[in-house]
Chains A and B, each alone.
Chain A
Amino acid sequence: MKFDLSLFRTWRTVLIVLVVLVASGVALRPLEQPAWDVVRASQPALKLESIKGALGQGVTVGLLGGFRSIVADFFWLQTNVVWEKNDLPATQTYVHIVTAVDPRPLYFWLNGSRMIAYDMPNWRIQAAGGYDVVPPGVQRRFDEEQSKVAVEYLTEGLGYHPDEALLYIEIANVYLNRLKDSQTASEYYLKAARQPDAPFYAARIYAELLRKLGRNREAYDWLVKLYPTLPKGKDAPYTAVPEVVLERIRELETELAIPQDRTFQQ
């Protein structure tokens, strides 16, 4: 068998190209890594696993090419189209695709979770025959199942926005409004109130939930600690409402029969 020299030359070229590329990659890693850490921190990873069903629709190049937020907007439009048709599987799929493509805007997480937790149980009840036909136990099960999906979805959102009070509040609202679970809702309102830039109402609702749970002493202690931190005066945001907090403190002092000399002093 005759030895083909040109074949050897081709493989030698390929080998040299690969070796040089690997050597360049290894040599450049220390230069690249600090910059990559900075870039990576600002852009959430693209979760291809979640969007692989949609990749065939010509979005791959768009996603990689920099049209990430535009592609997410298009998918959000699509989400609304299927939502209007009460199409549960499609809506749930698109809601997840939108945040897989672009998990940065809170808008998608909040509105997506509301579709899952508040609209989908109604769709399921309607599909099963309506409120008059479906037994309350089954309705309750639908609520629980969809709420679980919504909470999981919002918890995933917290992975991208760990300090975002609005996500904690949204979880708390699901527990409070759909599952009537004031205990768990209060825990999430507390987490929300502890986040930077939390809305003032999160702390107030936490206290109200404590009162609802009969934990008046805790509610009183919380509000007494909260009141001095609230901005006051004419330049204060109108949402701070320190006068409302003070009113609640006085109500609780009455309910807890706190002696006059030990009441909260401003």
Chain B
Amino acid sequence: MSSATSSVSAAGKTGRVPFSFERLRLIAGNTFLEAVRQKLFNFLLLLAVAMVVSAQFFREFNFGSSELKFIADFGFGALVFFGSTLTIATTAQLFFSEIENRTALTLLAKPIWRAEFIFGKWLGVFAVVGVFCAVTIGLLVGLLFYRENAIMSLHPDAFEAGRIVDYAGIFWVGVLQWLKFGVLTAIVLLVASFSNTNLYTVVTGFFVLVICHLQYLARDAYGHMDNLLVKLPVMALSYIFPNFQLFNLADNIGQGDGIAGEVVVRVALYALVYIAAIGGLAVYSFRNREI
């Protein structure tokens, strides 16, 4: 807290405080603590954990794929579905609780950058979602390892070439999904920066999530369009929204050489640039907002 205090006192001399990572960390830490105390976080975490664990009870349900593939699909489904819900709901709730409880007024009356506020919120939510991803992926890996061992003891011939589950691939898919949630958090903060209600932000967040998942349809479509009046808006749509299907690398696990390192780096960079750009826009929009 000392560096934050010293930068505040510096403000008295210059009239403007420099950007402080310490204040950013404090806001992020507070956001994180608020989020993990919420019933929603615990509820969604519990649901995701229950879903991953229950995957083994549904293993007879796998019609088209192998048992291990089915468990992996089930686990990734829980991660993506509940992770998206958690990201949107938590971001909106934490942002608007500051506005509705008037704590944002107190906070922003102090020499604090709005960028520190926005990116502090982002970092706090990102950390919460990180815990969620780590627990879900950890459980999924544990369950797959347990079932693979059981199957290995029953059918050793099928595992002559070694284990078939690509655990490193699962880890990287988890990391990339976490980064995708980071982009989603930035998007929700951008919406929240100009929105007046929590509900509007949550609903818009879900709409944007669906659009981002279907963004690739727009980029596929405009290449085949002749009418310029239709083509240009569709083309613009494909550039405005990030492509969330890009993060869905779960299908590459166990195919060919698995998930290539270059692809992971490209997707991670893609997410980081979007987080910076959309986060920056959220700050810009929030600066124009009267609280």
Contact residues of A with B, CB < 8 Å?
9-10, 13, 16-18, 20-22, 24-29, 31-32, 34-36, 38-40, 42-43, 45, 48, 60-62, 64-70, 72-73, 76, 102, 104-108
Contacts and interface: CB of A to CB of B under 8 A. Distances in A.
B190 interface: yes
A13 B77 contact: no
Contacts of A40: 216
Contacts of A65: 77, 80-81, 84
Interface in B240-291: 240-243, 245-246, 248-252, 255, 260, 262-263, 266-267, 269-270, 273-274, 277-278, 280-281, 284-285, 288
Question: DSSP class of B's interface residues: helix, strand, loop or mixed?
Answer: helix
Given A13-B284, A65-B81, A21 B266 contact: no
B251 A73 contact: no
A39 B248 contact: yes
Given A25-B239, A28-B270, A17 B65 contact: no
A76 B63 contact: yes
A14 B216 CA distance: 23
Interface stretch (B3-11, B68-76, B149-157): B68-76
A48 B246 CA distance: 18
Contacts of B231: none
Interface of B: 61-65, 69-70, 73-74, 76-77, 79-81, 84, 190, 194, 209-210, 213-214, 216-217, 220, 236, 238-243, 245-246, 248-252, 255, 260, 262-263, 266-267, 269-270, 273-274, 277-278, 280-281, 284-285, 288
B240 A31 contact: no
Contacts of A48: 214, 217
Nearest to B212: A64
Nearest to B210: A64
Question: DSSP class of A's interface residues: helix, strand, loop or mixed?
Answer: helix
Contacts of B249: 39
A28 B217 CA distance: 18
Contacts, number: 136
A9 B252 CA distance: 46
B246 A39 contact: yes
A38 B190 CA distance: 30
Contacts of A27: 273
A65 to B, nearest CB: 4
A20 B242 CA distance: 12
A62 B81 contact: yes
A43 to B, nearest CB: 5
Nearest to A34: B266
B239 A66 contact: no
Contacts of A106: 64
B269 A76 contact: no
Contact of B194 (A13, A43, A60, A69): A13
A38 B260 contact: yes
Contacts of B210: 60-61, 64
A9 B265 CA distance: 38
Given A32-B270, A61-B81, A65-B81, A13 B65 contact: no
Contact of B64 (A13, A35, A43, A69): A69
A121 B74 CA distance: 37
Nearest to B62: A73
B288 to A, nearest CB: 5
**What are the 3 closest A-B residue pairs judged by CB atoms, nearest first?**
A105-B64, A25-B239, A66-B80
Contacts of A17: 190, 281, 284-285
